[in-house]
């Protein structure tokens, strides 16, 4: 039912853009509109047709996963695209210019070169991605399941942190725990940043061993049924220094302020500012060098944007992260991140893992 509805919205968009058809090539949009999770293939969608063309590796899987689509097996020298264009008399065909390679584009042009009336290929930019920003009920269920895996793993592994364990070991424990709980994989490479390493927002887990008094930023996510979770928690190994407590409390206050006061209809920039003003007011305006958050779903970073320059409006049904941080070169950092669903005009916090209780270990 959800796929029927997604196709319906896409077809409305085709009419709005005056397109006779769209050729979808990106993994995420192919999955979103068809249910097919293979790593290669195209969707050809017109007002009446829905074709999924893929290679021999995936045709059986495609039949099972995308029952609303006519499945075509692409073989070398196949004219499926030309046939589809001809059959539908398509004159304006949308393409995903942010996904299609230049070589892929030239190949499509060549395949269509001997059609009597060649269709115009129209770049659709992020049109399909925009349709993914508002989640349907099935997607919210899938996101909640992915979130549960990372929530559980961060609590289980967080409780075991102690001096002597390396960042890499922690990262692997987290991954192993999520997988054994039932996650399909990671939604992105886990960040475990301890002590001074926590000053780097995108630190890669190293052989550094935890030391007493370290702050440890863990940023991770699970993948489940094609959907991503994303959580950050900051731990302390042993007793927190007064400076750590102070910075932790500012970040937590910024994070909870945004969760408590964001409203549907605000822009991403307005929501970013809810948290940023707390950090600015505490005197750390130069130490929060990234956006407050990002949309999440099939991709770990997707629309809507939630940063200082995000002019998009946050609507009911959107799921996004709220993750302020403070980073101080040579000292370390603190970041706290939840995923929220905008629902009945207010954020509903989907992430359930403890925030404050876990600080002291």
Q: What are φ and ψ of residue 236, in 5° steps?
A: -125, 140
Least spacing, CB of residue 137 vs a copy of itself, in Å: 26
60 binds a copy of itself (CB under 8 A): yes
Place of tokens 């692997």: 172
Part in contact with a copy of itself (CB under 8 A); list of ranges 55-63, 79-87, 134-142, 352-360: 55-63
**Among 102, 110, 113, 344, which residue sits at the site for a copy of itself (rule: CB under 8 A)?**
102
Is there a contact between 30 and 134 (Cβ–Cβ < 8 Å)? no
331 binds a copy of itself (CB under 8 A): no
Give the separation between CA 330 and CA 264, rounded to whole angstroms. 39
200 binds a copy of itself (CB under 8 A): yes
- Residue ranges of alpha helices (H) inside 132-203 are 137-158, 167-181
**Among 48, 101, 113, 344, which residue sits at the site for a copy of itself (rule: CB under 8 A)?**
101
Is there a contact between 179 and 220 (Cβ–Cβ < 8 Å)? no
- C-alpha gyration radius of the chain: 23
Least spacing, CB of residue 359 vs a copy of itself, in Å: 26
57 binds a copy of itself (CB under 8 A): yes
Give the separation between CA 198 and CA 214, rounded to whole angstroms. 9
99 binds a copy of itself (CB under 8 A): yes
Ramachandran assignment for 123, one of left (phi > 0), alpha (psi -120 to 50 degrees), beta (any other): beta
Number of C-beta neighbours around residue 126 at 10 A: 15
**Among 123, 261, 286, 316, which residue sits at the site for a copy of itself (rule: CB under 8 A)?**
123
Part in contact with a copy of itself (CB under 8 A); list of ranges 91-99, 310-318, 332-340, 348-356: 91-99
Element (H, E) at 338: strand 338-343
77 binds a copy of itself (CB under 8 A): no
Q: Contacts with a copy of itself in 158-187 (CB under 8 A)? A: 172, 175-176, 179-180
Binding footprint of a copy of itself on the chain (CB under 8 A): 56-58, 60-61, 95, 97-106, 123, 125, 172, 175-176, 179-180, 200-202, 204, 289
């Amino acid at each position: 039912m959800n796929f029927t509805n997604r196709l319906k919205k896409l077809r409305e968009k085709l009419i709005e853009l005056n397109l006779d058809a769209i050729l979808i090539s990106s993994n995420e949009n192919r999955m979103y509109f068809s249910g097919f999770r293979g790593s290669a293939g195209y969707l050809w969608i017109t007002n009446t047709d829905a074709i999924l063309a893929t290679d021999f590796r995936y045709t059986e899987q495609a039949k099972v996963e995308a029952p609303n689509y006519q499945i075509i097996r692409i073989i070398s020298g196949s004219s499926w695209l030309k046939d589809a264009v001809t059959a539908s008399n398509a004159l304006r065909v949308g393409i995903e210019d942010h996904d299609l390679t230049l070589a892929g584009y030239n190949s499509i042009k060549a395949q269509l070169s001997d059609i009597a009336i060649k269709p115009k290929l129209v770049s659709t930019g992020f049109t399909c991605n925009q349709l993914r920003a508002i989640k349907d009920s099935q997607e919210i269920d899938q996101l909640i399941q992915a979130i549960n895996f990372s929530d559980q793993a961060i609590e289980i592994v967080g409780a075991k942190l102690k001096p002597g364990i390396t960042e890499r070991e922690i990262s692997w424990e987290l991954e192993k725990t999520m997988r054994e709980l039932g996650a399909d994989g990671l939604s992105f490479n886990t960040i475990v940043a301890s002590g001074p390493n926590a000053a780097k927002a995108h630190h890669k887990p190293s052989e550094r061993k935890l030391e007493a008094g370290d702050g440890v930023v863990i940023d991770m996510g699970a993948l489940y049924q094609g959907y991503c979770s994303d959580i950050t928690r900051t731990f302390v190994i042993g007793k927190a220094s007064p400076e750590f407590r102070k910075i932790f409390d500012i970040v937590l206050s910024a994070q909870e302020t945004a969760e408590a006061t964001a409203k549907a209809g605000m822009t991403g920039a307005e929501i970013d500012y809810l948290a940023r003003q707390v950090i600015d007011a505490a005197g750390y305006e130069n130490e929060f060098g990234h956006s407050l958050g990002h949309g999440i779903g099939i991709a770990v970073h997707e629309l809507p944007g939630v940063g200082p320059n995000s002019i998009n409006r946050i609507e009911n049904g959107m799921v996004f992260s709220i993750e302020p941080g403070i980073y101080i070169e040579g000292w370390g950092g603190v970041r706290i991140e939840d995923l929220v669903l905008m629902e009945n005009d207010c954020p509903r916090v989907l992430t359930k893992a403890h925030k404050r209780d876990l600080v002291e270990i």
